[in-house]
């Protein structure tokens, strides 16, 4: 009896194999690259990146086979269904031997019993390394009310994500504007908003909570940027309002009625500023120190009647000298990018850490680019003065926040290109001349992840190591240990 069963099993197995072999022999070539999500066709990736798992965007896919090979003859084969999940270890091994090379992805798909072979597509492996991971805020793309949210960190060479802090720890709170000193995870600033709120400062691993509103300043500190030396953080202070569009495609308009820039002296717990950064007739915001620490870039616009004249609000990119030893500013302000002259506005100037480029967001008006579908990323070359759109990175949907890797060869940016609402983190290689390669969406273990999530990836920042913020210590500091900042008037 057992023998009888065994022979039946063998027959079935044989039939199965011969059937597969027969199907595979009639593979039809599509002559096109596959339609996959995320779109990894022709992207440039770093060596230390998690597997590029993807979903085949065809209906009725039952089986699929993927062969990935490099020019040295190393390969990796995966059999799957609609969702292609590449084994982590084999992927890492393949990438280790492919630095500076390219991988070819050969994909065959069985749809309704017939096999199709797509044209192979390349993925380029840059020899430029990337940082340990990313930090971002996960928040539902809502309006005024926020449910669960948090600041999270994600290792780039795996799918591991940890919460740095979640707002469930401080009920009813919101948290935003996390920032690092040039990707340094030991020097971080973030704001907790709400009744227990404050600015959390992680300075060389030591944690303290600051109350940043003073009677001399407009508001609590808002948009941050660390001085490369770590002794200062530039913040904007803003009187912000939001209102809501009634007709598609725009949803929200956020604008400032007034804003200034202040510098926080980390060691002395003091804020200071200067007249050009606190001008009454202009609004100054989005500060960013140059990598040598001797300049402060910022955006500035004339004040107008809001929200009626919101379309008249156009910010330019300006620069002022800064002496990190004395903490004094220069007397003159230079215009770096005169966006208003071409009827545009800009936000988020971010100098590359090698000092060569300034990436920024350009859009039609205002300062809150995330709700502007026309917002695109631009690059200003400080050596040549060439100012150009990063066309390889832009789409017909919003591209907004962006930050550089520590070696200035990678940029991570938020984009709404996938569905027009949920912000997702894309990473792109930028070469030494400012040429951008096709960006890739941060890989997730489950290719359906971005469809199923309720969260936007907000303010993606590179980090050089995991952030070590003890939530118990944070809770204690937020609840009991606030340091009130003082504003220092200066006459220089």
Binding mask 425-464 toward another protein (x if CB under 8 A, else -) reads ---------------------x-x--xx-x----------
Instruction: Using the rule CB under 8 A, give the single segment among 41-49, 210-218, 378-386, 471-479 that binds another protein.
Output: 471-479
Residues 350-379 that bind another protein (CB under 8 A): none
Pairing type for strands 54-56 and 83-84 reads: antiparallel
Find the shortest distance in angstroms from Cβ 100 to another protein: 36
Binding of another protein at residue 169 (CB under 8 A)? yes
Q: Which stretch binds another protein (CB under 8 A): 92-100, 135-143, 334-342, 427-435?
A: 135-143
Query: Rule CB under 8 A: is residue 475 a binding residue for another protein?
Result: yes
Nearer Cβ to another protein, position 172 or 205?
Answer: 172
Please pick, from the candidates 61, 66, 156, 165, the single residue that binds another protein as defined by CB under 8 A: 165
Residue 191: Cβ-neighbour burial (10 angstroms; 0-12, 13-18, 19+): buried
The stretch near another protein (CB under 8 A) out of 94-102, 333-341, 380-388, 420-428 is 420-428
| 145 scored as a contact of another protein (CB under 8 A) | yes
- Residue (55 or 350) nearer to another protein, CB: 55
| 35 binds another protein per the rule CB under 8 A | no
C-beta of 246: minimal distance to another protein in Å? Answer: 5
Q: Are 91 and 125 in contact, with CB atoms under 8 Å apart?
A: no
| Per CB under 8 A, 140 contacts another protein | yes
The length of the chain is 492
Q: Which residue has the tokens 């290792």?
A: 155
142 is an interface residue for another protein by CB under 8 A:
yes
| Cβ closest to another protein, residue 162 vs residue 343 | 162
CB of 174 to another protein, least distance (A): 11
**Tokens at 355, concatenated:** 């000092």
Of 100-108, 219-227, 351-359, 412-420: span binding another protein (CB under 8 A): 412-420
Q: CB 373 → another protein: shortest distance, Å?
A: 11
| Beta carbon nearer to another protein, 165 or 459 | 165
Which tokens hold the place of 454? 């309720």
- The token duo for 282 is 């202009």
Q: Is 257 in the site for another protein (CB under 8 A)?
A: no
Q: Is 36 in the site for another protein (CB under 8 A)?
A: no
Distance CA 440, CA 429 (A): 9
According to DSSP, the β-strands at 114-117 and 28-29 are parallel
Closer CB to another protein, 129 or 141, in the complex: 141
Q: Report the alpha-carbon distance of residue 465 to residue 428 in Å, rounded.
A: 20
Would you say 310 and 283 are in contact if contact means Cβ atoms under 8 Å apart? no
CB of 248 to another protein, least distance (A): 4
Q: How far is the CB of 433 from another protein (least distance, A)?
A: 35
Q: How far is the CB of 33 from another protein (least distance, A)?
A: 20
Query: Peptide bond preceding 50: is omega within 30 degrees of 0, i.e. cis?
Result: no
Which one among 89, 144, 325, 489 touches another protein, defined by CB under 8 A?
144
Is the dihedral angle over the CA atoms 156, 157, 159, 163 positive or is it negative? negative
DSSP 359: E
Q: Which residue has the tokens 């913020």?
A: 469
Burial 4-40 (b: 16+ CB within 10 A, else e): eeeeeeeeeeeeeeeeeeeeeeeeeebeebbebbbbb
Q: CA triplet 259, 314, 385: central angle to 5 degrees? A: 105
Q: Are 273 and 489 in contact (CB under 8 A)?
A: no
Read off φ and ψ for residue 387, nearest 5 degrees. Answer: -125, 115
Residue 357 is encoded by which pair of tokens? 């480029």
User: According to CB under 8 A, which residues from 285 to 344 bind another protein?
Assistant: 307
Decide: 293 and 228 in contact? Cβ < 8 Å: yes
CB 315 within 8 A of CB 345: yes
Residue 28 interacts with another protein (CB under 8 A): yes or no? no
Report the site for another protein in 217-256 (rule: CB under 8 A): 243-251, 253
The three-class DSSP label of residue 6 is helix
- CB 376 to another protein: min, Å: 20
Q: Which of 168, 309, 335, 484 binds another protein (CB under 8 A)?
A: 168
Q: Which is nearer to another protein, 82 or 217 (CB)?
A: 82
Q: Are 263 and 272 in contact (CB under 8 A)?
A: yes
**Cβ at position 148, least distance to another protein in Å:** 4
User: What does DSSP assign to residue 254?
Assistant: E
Q: Which is nearer to another protein, 142 or 229 (by Cβ)?
A: 142
Q: Which of 8, 143, 341, 396 binds another protein (CB under 8 A)?
A: 143
Helix (H) / strand (E) element for 470: namely: none
Which range of residues in 87-95, 145-153, 211-219, 287-295 is near another protein by CB under 8 A?
A: 145-153
Separation between Cα atoms, residue 149 and residue 169, nearest integer Å = 10
Rounded Cα gap, residues 276 and 331, in angstroms: 8
Q: Is 170 in the site for another protein (CB under 8 A)?
A: yes
Q: What are phi and psi of 168, to 5 degrees?
A: -65, -20
Number of residues in contact with another protein, rule: CB under 8 A?
A: 40
Positions that interact with another protein (CB under 8 A): 140, 142-148, 150, 163, 165-166, 168-171, 243-251, 253, 307, 418-422, 446, 448, 451-452, 454, 471-472, 475
């Amino acid at each position: 009896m057992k023998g009888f069963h065994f022979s039946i099993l063998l027959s079935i197995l044989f039939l199965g194999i011969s059937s597969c072999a027969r199907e595979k022999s009639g593979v039809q070539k599509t002559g096109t690259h596959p339609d996959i999500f995320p779109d990894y066709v022709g992207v440039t990736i770093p060596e230390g990146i998690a597997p590029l798992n993807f979903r085949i965007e065809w209906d009725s896919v039952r089986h699929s086979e993927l062969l990935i090979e490099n020019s040295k003859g190393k390969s990796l084969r995966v059999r799957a269904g609609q969702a292609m999940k590449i084994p982590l270890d084999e992927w890492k091994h393949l990438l280790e031997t492919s630095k500076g090379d390219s991988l070819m992805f050969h994909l065959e798909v069985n749809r309704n019993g017939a096999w199709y072979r797509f044209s192979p597509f390349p993925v380029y492996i840059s020899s430029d390394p990337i940082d340990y991971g990313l930090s971002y805020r996960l928040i539902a793309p809502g309006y005024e009310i926020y449910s669960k949210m948090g600041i999270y960190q994600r290792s780039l060479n795996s799918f591991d994500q940890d919460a740095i802090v979640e707002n469930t720890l401080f009920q009813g709170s919101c948290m935003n504007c996390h920032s690092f000193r040039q990707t340094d995870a030991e020097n971080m600033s973030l704001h907790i908003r709400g009744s227990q709120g404050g600015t959390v400062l992680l300075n060389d691993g030591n944690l303290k909570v600051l109350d940043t509103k003073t009677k001399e300043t407009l508001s609590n500190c808002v948009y941050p940027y660390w001085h490369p030396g770590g002794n200062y953080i530039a913040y904007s202070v803003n009187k912000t309002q939001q209102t809501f569009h009634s007709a598609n495609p725009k949803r929200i308009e956020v604008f400032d009625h007034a804003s200034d820039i202040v510098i926080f002296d980390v060691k002395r717990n003091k804020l200071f500023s200067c007249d050009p950064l606190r001008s009454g007739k202009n609004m100054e915001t989005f500060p960013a120190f140059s990598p040598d620490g001797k300049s402060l870039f910022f955006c500035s616009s004339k004040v107008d009647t809001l929200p009626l004249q919101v379309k008249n609000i156009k910010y330019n990119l300006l620069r002022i000298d800064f002496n990190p030893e004395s903490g004094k500013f220069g007397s003159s302000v230079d215009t770096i990018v005169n966006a208003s002259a071409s009827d545009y506005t800009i936000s988020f100037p971010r100098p590359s850490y090698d000092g060569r480029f300034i990436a920024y967001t350009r859009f039609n008006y205002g300062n809150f680019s995330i709700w502007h579908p026309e917002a695109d990323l631009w690059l200003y070359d400080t050596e040549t003065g060439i100012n150009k759109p990063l066309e390889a990175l832009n789409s017909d949907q919003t591209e907004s926040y962006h930050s550089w890797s520590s070696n200035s060869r990678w940029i991570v940016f938020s984009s709404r290109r996938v569905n027009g609402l949920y912000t997702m983190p894309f990473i792109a290689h930028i070469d030494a001349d400012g040429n951008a390669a096709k960006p890739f969406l941060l890989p997730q273990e489950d290719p359906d992840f971005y469809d199923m999530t309720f969260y936007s990836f907000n303010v993606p920042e590179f980090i050089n190591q995991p952030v070590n913020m003890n939530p118990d210590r944070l809770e204690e500091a937020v609840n009991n240990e606030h340091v009130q900042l003082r504003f220092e008037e200066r006459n220089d």
